[in-house]
C-alpha cells in the first residue's frame, strides 16, 4: 500500500518525513485531524524493523489521538510522531533536530512525551520550538503527565468493574497489569494497591518489576504468561496490538481496561470478538485520556491542578456513556466510542462550515 493510500484509509490530513544525517535522526509526524484544534500527541522513539512498520504505528497512534481529545471534550486534533531509533541513540543533536522538525509545521502539531521520550528530552526539543507540552513545573509546565494517565485508567477500571461485575469496590479484585514497571504502569499499580486490588504483573524491566513486588505485594509472571492468568481485569500499559487472535484465545478476563494505546490489532474485528466472548473492553483512547487532558490545560495556559484532576476523573462518566451507547445500539464498545468522538467532530465541523459559508 502506498503512503497516500494509507493516509486515505485512515483519513489523515498530513504525513511528513524528516531525515537529518548529522543528527542521526529519522522521524515521521502524522497529523490526522485538526477540526477541533492543533494536533497534539507525543513523540515515540522505537527501533522499528522498517519504515513501513513505523508508518503503520504513527498512523494508528495519531488517529487515536484525534478520538481521544474529541471524546474528552478538548479543543485539540490528533497527531503523533515516531523517531526510528534505538533509545541508546538519544542525543541532544537528535532531539534538537526533531524540535526543528516540529517548528517547521508552524503549530499544526504539538509534541509531548511518549514511549522512550523523557521530560529531559522534551526540554531539548524545546530549545528549537515552543510547540511542546508536558514541561517540568520549574518552567511553568504541568510536569510528568503519567500520574494523570494512571488516574484516568483507575477511574475507567472502576466503572468497568461496576458495569461488568456489579461491584462498587476494587477490593480483592485481581488485576493483571502488563507493562507494570513503566511510567504509567507503576503509578497505576500504586493506585490499584491503594484500592485494595490484588496485582499480577509482567514487564521486561526485571528490576522495575522487583520494586513493584516489594512495594505492592504483586505476583510476577512471564511476558507471554500475562494473557492467560486468572484475573477479572486485564490492564495493558505497554505497547499496542496485544489484543489479537492469539491472545484473545487465552483470555479468562471479564474486563480489559488499561492505558496502552491501540490495544486491538484490528479495532473492528477484535472489538466484535471480545463482545462475542462477553469481555467488556474499555476503548483505550477513552480510558487513557488523562495525560492529554493534563497537557491541554498547559497548552491553553489554564493549568489548575484541582480542575485537571476533576476533568480526568470525568473519564468515569464518559466511559459510562459509551457503555450505554453500546448497549442501546447493540454494538461493540470501540464502535460506540468512535461514534461518540466523531459526533463532536462532525458538529464542530458543521459549525465552522456555517460560519465560513
> Which of the residues 80, 90, 158, 163 is marked catalytic?
80
Q: CATH number for the domain including 60?
A: 3.40.50.10860
Which pLDDT value is given to residue 352? 61
Would you say residue 355 has pLDDT above 70? no
Q: Which runs of E-coded beta strand occur in the chain?
A: 14-20, 25-33, 39-40, 43-46, 77-84, 109-110, 174-178, 198-202, 219-220, 233-236, 255-256, 280-281
Whether 175 maps to a domain, the answer reads yes
d(CA 357, CA 355): 6
Would you say residue 356 has pLDDT above 70? no
188 lies in the same domain as 104: no
- For the CA atoms of 300, 301, 305, 306, the dihedral, rounded to the nearest 10 degrees, stands at -70
Would you say residue 6 has pLDDT above 90? no
| Contact indicator for 195, 154 with CB cutoff of 8 Å | yes
Whether 117 maps to a domain, the answer reads yes
Tens-digit pLDDT profile for residues 223-270? 999 999 999 999 999 888 899 999 999 999 999 999 998 899 999 999
Residue in this structure with the C-alpha cell 477490593, named with its chain if needed: 171
Q: Which of 109, 132, 155 is the last residue of a domain?
A: 132
175 lies in the same domain as 263: yes
Whether 222 maps to a domain, the answer reads yes
183 lies in the same domain as 326: yes
112 lies in the same domain as 155: no
Would you say residue 9 has pLDDT above 90? no
120 lies in the same domain as 239: no
- Residue 31 structural domain: 3-64+76-132
150 lies in the same domain as 262: yes
Q: Which three cell numbers stand for residue 354?
A: 456555517
Whether 344 maps to a domain, the answer reads no
Residue in this structure with the C-alpha cell 522513539, named with its chain if needed: 45
117 lies in the same domain as 184: no
237 lies in the same domain as 262: yes
Whole-number mean pLDDT of the chain? 94
Select from 126, 128, 149 the least CA-distant residue to 136. Answer: 126
Residue 200, sorted as left (phi over 0), alpha (psi -120 to 50) or beta, turns out to be: beta
Residue in this structure with the C-alpha cell 517540568, named with its chain if needed: 136
Which pLDDT value is given to residue 273? 98
233 lies in the same domain as 158: yes
Radius of gyration of the chain from its Cα atoms, rounded to whole angstroms = 19
Q: How many domains, the chain?
A: 2
d(CA 306, CA 259): 22
152 lies in the same domain as 281: yes
The order of strands in the sheet holding 233-236 is 219-220, 198-202, 174-178, 233-236, 255-256, 280-281
192 lies in the same domain as 121: no
Whether 223 maps to a domain, the answer reads yes
Whether 103 maps to a domain, the answer reads yes
Select from 47, 62, 54, 85 the least CA-distant residue to 13. Answer: 62
Quick one: pLDDT band at residue 353, thresholds 50, 70, 90? low
Which pLDDT value is given to residue 3? 82
Degrees to nearest 5, angle at CA 91 with 87 and 96: 115
Residue 202, sorted as left (phi over 0), alpha (psi -120 to 50) or beta, turns out to be: beta
Q: Flag whether the pTM goes above 0.75.
A: yes
Quick one: pLDDT band at residue 297, thresholds 50, 70, 90? very high
Q: CATH number for the domain including 245?
A: 3.40.50.720
Q: Which runs of E-coded beta strand occur in 96-141?
A: 109-110
Higher pLDDT, 114 or 290: 290
Active site residue 158: no
80 lies in the same domain as 162: no
Quick one: pLDDT band at residue 24, thresholds 50, 70, 90? very high
| Contact indicator for 139, 156 with CB cutoff of 8 Å | no
Quick one: pLDDT band at residue 315, thresholds 50, 70, 90? very high
Whether 119 maps to a domain, the answer reads yes
Whether 277 maps to a domain, the answer reads yes
CA pseudo-torsion sign 228, 213, 171, 202: negative
CB count within 10 Å of CB 330 equals: 9
CB count within 10 Å of CB 255 equals: 23
Give, in order, the Cα–Cα distances in Å from 357 to each of 14, 36, 128, 350, 352.
Answer: 24, 18, 38, 10, 8
Amino acid at each position: 500500500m502506498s503512503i497516500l493510500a494509507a493516509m486515505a484509509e485512515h483519513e489523515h490530513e498530513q504525513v511528513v518525513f524528516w531525515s537529518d544525517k548529522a543528527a542521526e535522526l529519522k522521524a515521521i509526524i502524522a497529523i490526522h485531524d485538526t477540526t477541533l484544534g492543533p494536533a497534539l500527541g507525543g513523540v515515540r522513539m522505537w527501533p522499528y524493523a522498517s519504515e513501513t512498520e513505523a508508518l503503520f504505528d504513527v498512523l494508528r497512534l495519531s488517529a487515536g489521538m484525534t478520538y481521544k481529545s474529541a471524546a474528552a471534550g478538548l479543543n485539540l486534533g490528533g497527531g503523533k510522531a515516531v523517531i526510528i531509533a534505538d533509545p541508546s541513540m538519544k542525543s541532544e543533536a537528535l532531539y534538537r533536530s526533531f524540535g526543528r522538525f516540529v517548528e517547521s509545521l508552524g503549530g499544526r502539531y504539538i509534541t509531548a512525551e511518549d514511549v522512550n521520550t523523557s521530560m529531559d528530552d522534551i526540554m531539548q526539543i524545546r530549545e528549537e520550538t515552543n510547540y511542546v507540552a508536558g514541561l517540568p513545573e520549574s518552567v511553568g509546565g504541568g510536569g510528568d503527565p503519567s500520574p494523570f494517565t494512571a488516574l484516568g485508567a483507575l477511574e475507567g477500571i472502576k466503572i468497568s468493574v461496576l458495569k461488568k461485575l456489579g461491584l462498587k469496590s476494587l477490593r480483592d479484585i485481581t488485576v493483571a497489569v502488563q507493562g507494570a514497571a513503566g511510567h504509567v504502569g507503576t503509578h497505576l499499580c500504586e493506585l490499584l494497591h491503594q484500592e485494595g486490588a490484588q496485582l499480577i504483573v509482567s514487564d521486561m524491566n526485571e528490576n522495575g518489576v522487583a520494586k513493584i513486588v516489594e512495594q505492592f505485594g504483586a505476583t510476577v509472571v512471564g511476558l507471554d504468561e500475562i494473557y492467560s492468568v486468572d484475573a477479572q481485569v486485564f490492564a495493558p500499559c505497554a505497547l499496542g496490538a496485544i489484543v489479537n487472535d492469539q491472545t484473545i484465545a487465552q483470555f479468562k478476563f471479564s474486563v480489559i481496561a488499561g492505558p496502552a494505546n491501540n490495544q486491538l490489532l484490528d479495532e473492528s474485528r477484535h472489538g466484535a470478538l471480545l463482545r462475542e466472548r462477553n469481555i467488556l473492553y474499555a476503548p483505550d483512547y477513552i480510558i487513557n485520556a488523562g495525560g492529554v487532558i493534563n497537557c491541554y490545560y498547559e497548552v491553553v495556559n489554564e493549568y489548575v491542578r484541582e480542575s485537571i484532576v476533576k476533568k480526568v476523573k470525568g473519564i468515569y462518566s464518559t466511559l459510562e456513556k459509551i457503555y450505554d451507547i453500546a448497549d442501546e445500539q447493540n454494538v461493540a464498545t470501540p464502535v460506540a466510542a468512535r461514534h461518540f468522538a466523531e459526533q463532536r467532530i462532525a458538529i464542530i465541523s458543521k459549525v465552522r462550515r456555517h460560519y465560513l459559508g
